Amino acid sequence: MDLVIVTFQSVAVLLGIGILGFLIIRKRIVPEQALGTLSPLVLDVALPCLIFTSILETFSPKETPDWWTLPLWWLLFTLIAAGLTAISMFLSQKKTRREFALSLFYQNAIFFPIAILTGMFGTTSPYLVSLFLLTIFYAAFFFNTYPLFFGKKEKKLNLKKIFHPVLIVTVIAMGIRFANLQPYIPGFVISIFKTIGTMTIPLIMIVLGGTVYVDFQKKGTIYKKEIIKFVIVKNIMFPLIFLGLLILIHPPYVVALLIILQSAVPPITAVPLLTERAGGDRAIVNQFVVASFAFSLLSIPLMIGLFSIIFPAT
């Protein structure tokens, strides 16, 4: 029950900050144009700083010798999620099918789990590092594959999308830990990175809330049936299916916890903007995201409660 309450509080904090971002843009405290600047600030600066300090402070190669298996678990999760998406997308009407599938497939792999794991186990939990290792290739994968949902391919290889700052920083931090060089990094440098890293979650949720307000002004037709179908599939069916698979496979606790979180969280916040860039319907994707975020206040604690019964905390 404690984990359920903590999870509820963590999700409530995220949604509360998102509402604050909505009001900030609505009241014109910050101009809409600033959202385009804040998003790269989060993904390319704040998040890498958080990952860097977390790995330096809590990762131990000797205590976690199987760390290298975590990206393989992510690959397995992604393959299964792709199969479920391919099946579930036909529940949507043809007009919104691509947007439906895109929003199902790309989960909020990092930001929501960070907030929940921090609420559960504290800011110094080694589970955060496990999350970063699990999702080390997620950013590069996401930014290189989302156009495929709209039949588009990159004309040439974009190294910036492959060697994302998240991937680069994770590799550098791991190298420092394996070489045992972290004692030689000045404390004030770590403090700078840590302070910047703490801005990650508040900034991304403010950006999300502000983006929702901008999109809300151009919401167009409300696809009620499609939204209901999406929430049922994304917030309920996906995590329940993965929970069943976890019972069969019964992986280590940390892997099981991360997988159930990956399956239960709503879509990644960038999907409405990138859908528009790829030529899709941004309005319907934004409706999917908002509905899934709102319902996650109930669905994620429920899934964590079921998970904790089957996989007691270790």
Q: What is the pLDDT of residues 175-225, one digit of tens each?
A: 999 999 989 999 899 999 999 998 888 888 888 888 777 776 766 778 889
Pick from 195-204, 209-218, 256-265, 292-301: least confident: 209-218
Band (pLDDT 50/70/90 cuts) for residue 273 is confident
Other CB atoms within a 10 A radius of the CB of residue 275 amount to: 26
Q: What is the pLDDT of residue 13?
A: 85
Q: Residue 95 is which amino acid? A: K
Complete domains list, the chain, with CATH: 2-310 (1.20.1530)
Q: What is the pLDDT of residue 204?
A: 82
Checking if the pLDDT of 157 tops 60, the result is no
What whole-number distance in Å separates Cα of residue 236 and Cα of residue 234?
6
Q: What is the pLDDT of residue 314?
A: 62
Do the beta carbons of residue 32 and residue 210 sit within 8 Å?
A: yes
Q: What is the pLDDT of residue 50?
A: 93
Diameter over CA atoms, the chain: 58
DSSP string for 232-268: IIIIIIHHHHHHHHHHHH---HHHHHHHHHHHHS-B-
What whole-number distance in Å separates Cα of residue 92 and Cα of residue 225?
9
What whole-number distance in Å separates Cα of residue 276 and Cα of residue 36?
14
DSSP string for 154-165: -SS--HHHHS-H
Which of 294, 285, 284 has the alpha carbon at shortest distance from 235?
A: 294
- Predicted structure pTM score: 0.90
Q: Per-residue pLDDT averaged across 103-131, rounded?
A: 89
